[in-house]
Amino acid sequence: MNAFKLTLLVAVLAAGSAFAQPQPDDTLYRQLGGQSGLVKLTDDFMQRLLADPRMNPFFKDTDQKEFKAQLAAQFCEVSGGPCQRKGKDMKTVHDGQDITKSNFNALVEVLQQSMAAQGIPFTAQNRLLAKLAPMHREIINKH
């Protein structure tokens, strides 16, 4: 192959790689058990939210099927999975619910219990919580 063809080939390959989409990191998604693991997690989480006297008032009248579907999609999306949550933003969803920092922390505690019960490694639990934590600004609406 002459130098011109080699240079042209290198240029074409370089241009093609410049437009390639980076592959998402789905490591956390896989550590959470993929879609089936997220379904199990959200099922367990919903049961625990309803059983917890601190959380029950917020969730007793919730459409459980829709809540679990939205939550599983949200967990999937933030963990690098192939999902995208659709629906209202977090601020709109939680508006008027008088959610305090204490309420938010109680929910996180229940989520940690659910993750532990599902055998999710502690490091994966921490990674998911770190991705969800910034949402507190949109959820807490009573100080």
| Homologous superfamily, domain 26-139 | Globins (1.10.490.10)
3-state helix, strand, coil in the chain (%, to 5): 70, 0, 30
Residue 4 above 70 pLDDT? no
Confidence at residue 18, expressed as pLDDT on a 0 to 100 scale: 47
Confidence at residue 97, expressed as pLDDT on a 0 to 100 scale: 77
Domain ranges of the chain: 26-139
The share of the chain scoring above pLDDT 70, in percent, equals 83
Q: Which range is least confidently modeled, 22-26, 64-68, 106-110, 134-138?
A: 22-26
Residue tagged 């997690």 (tokens): 41
Phi and psi of 16, rounded to 5°?
Answer: -65, -40
Q: Label residue 17 by pLDDT band (50, 70, 90).
A: very low
Arithmetic mean of pLDDT, 61-67: 93
